Structure 1
């Protein structure tokens, strides 16, 4: 979609070149040490309206959220040095204390039995691996409605 009006003119009096209208962008933080998972998430969600930042340690999630304020965090449940449940609990504690806005968390689980733990740590949503692109896209749409996306 192009956005330019007749009133937009450059110094020569000619119409200015139309500019592309800005589209809502989804800023995601992906926490995993598994290269195949990074590739799967990027393949499923890639597009001009999605930006994915990756960290490979659970301890790096909180500083990354503070720095970039993502629209959602996707966390591998089997994350080194601080598992997905601990990462989610840490984010919830920080937001509950008012030190961080609440950010939606999507946990990537290894088995159906882990759903209990995902609920326990107050994850907003979860998917049992292996990932399905459509399921991942739908989960993201539930977590970050179009109206809440960054422009």
Structure 2
């Protein structure tokens, strides 16, 4: 079963993403802060990480860079999930090492499709 780490400081968004992924047959580990998400990724390396960009303690871009800099997590596919959709924001996300960039609001189908593409998991 594919495992996804979801990190978002907004409990509502966290629940929505968890629900969408679980309904798609994906195992989900959730954290409410960037630092906790980074620790979780090192405790159990996920198949993919979904990171909110705007978090107060350690933003998603910093978490993304930290994951890329560590040999243990360097190859984990990363989707940045954010309300920031301007081209400069998107470019910053890719520059930080993200594999994909999903702007809120998003559809359940879009999120699941992107996870499937990045993990190689087929339709459920």
Task: Please indicate the TM-score interval, normalised by the length of the shorter structure.
Answer: 0.7 to 0.9
The structure having more radius of gyration, on CA atoms, is 1
Match in the other structure for 1:12: none
Determine if contact 1:31/1:79 at 8 Å carries over to the other structure: no
Distance, in Å, in 2 between the alignment partners of 1:101 and 1:85 is 14
Quote the RMSD (CA, aligned, Å): 1.7
Query: Which 4+ residue blocks in structure 1 deviate beyond 3 angstroms?
Result: none
In the aligned structure 1, how far is the partner of 2:115 from the partner of 2:52? 15
Tell me the equivalent position of 2:43: 67
- Find 1:85's aligned residue among 56, 61, 83: 61
Counting matched residue pairs gives: 120
Q: State how far apart, in whole Å, the 2-side matches of 1:110 and 1:100 are.
A: 25
TM-score scaled to structure 2, two decimals?
Answer: 0.88
TM-score (norm 1): 0.73
Q: Which has a greater percent of helix? A: 2
Question: Residue 118 of structure 2 is aligned with which of 139, 143, 150?
Answer: 143
**Larger deviation: 45-54 or 113-122?**
45-54
Q: Give unmatched runs, 5+ long, in structure 2.
A: none
Is 1:134 aligned with 2:109?
yes
Cα shift at 1:70: 0.8
CA distance in structure 1 between the aligned counterparts of 2:39 and 2:18, rounded to whole angstroms: 22
* Corresponding residue of 2:16: 40
SS in 2 for 1:46: helix
